[in-house]
């Protein structure tokens, strides 16, 4: 099961890298068109904004999976062991709640945004919000895995 999860994690990491590469390519194309061909692309800036939204919301769970978000170790170390365990579990539960909220609320916004067409790309504005929905779903996936791992580590549950 861990191998399957690692493949999913890797897929999201590749997606972020690919989106970034395309953003850079579109930016270079825009510079070339503007300064060499003297003709700006009407859609490039909007494409890059949409790409940045996707990158940010997909990178949040990647960073959480790697333990790279700011944490409260200074506070946690002052707790007795039972309170530290509860603190770790509570933090992971907050991440789960954030993933659920991000996924559901951004989906609701995307339903409204679908009625509006972006001026540059001429696609529904909901496409940008789908990055938030996808990031929220992946964050929920990562957070539940981390919650299970923290609970097993502290409470001595069985391992897969």
Q: pLDDT (tens digit, 9 = 90+) per residue, 121-152?
A: 999 999 999 999 999 999 999 999 999 999 98
pTM reported for the whole predicted model: 0.88
Candidates 132, 109, 140, 152; CA nearest to 58 is: 132
Candidates 114, 158, 134; CA nearest to 59 is: 134
Q: What value does the CA radius of gyration of the chain take, rounded to a whole number of Å?
A: 20
Q: For residues 131, 135, 137 and 138, what is the CA-based torsion angle, rounded to 10 degrees?
A: 140
Print pLDDT tens along the chain (160 aa).
Answer: 889 999 999 999 999 999 999 999 999 999 999 999 999 898 999 999 999 999 999 999 999 999 888 777 788 888 898 898 899 899 999 999 999 999 999 999 999 999 999 999 999 999 999 999 999 999 999 999 999 999 988 887 545 4
pLDDT at 160: 45
pLDDT at 157: 54
Candidates 27, 57, 61, 32; CA nearest to 44 is: 27
pLDDT at 65: 92
């Amino acid at each position: 099961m861990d191998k399957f999860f690692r493949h999913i994690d890797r897929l999201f990491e590749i997606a972020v890298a690919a989106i970034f590469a395309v953003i850079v390519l579109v930016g270079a194309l825009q510079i070339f068109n503007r300064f060499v061909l003297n003709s700006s692309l009407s859609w490039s800036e909007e494409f890059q904004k949409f790409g940045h939204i996707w990158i940010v919301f997909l990178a949040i769970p990647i960073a959480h999976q790697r333990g790279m978000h700011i944490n409260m170790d200074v506070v946690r170390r002052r707790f007795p062991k039972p309170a530290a365990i509860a603190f770790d579990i509570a933090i992971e539960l907050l991440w789960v709640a954030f993933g659920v909220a991000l996924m559901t609320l951004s989906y609701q916004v995307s339903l409204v945004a679908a009625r509006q067409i972006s001026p540059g790309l001429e696609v529904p504005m909901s496409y940008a919000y789908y990055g938030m929905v996808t990031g929220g779903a992946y964050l929920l996936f990562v957070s539940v895995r981390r919650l299970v791992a923290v609970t097993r580590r502290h409470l001595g549950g069985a391992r897969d």
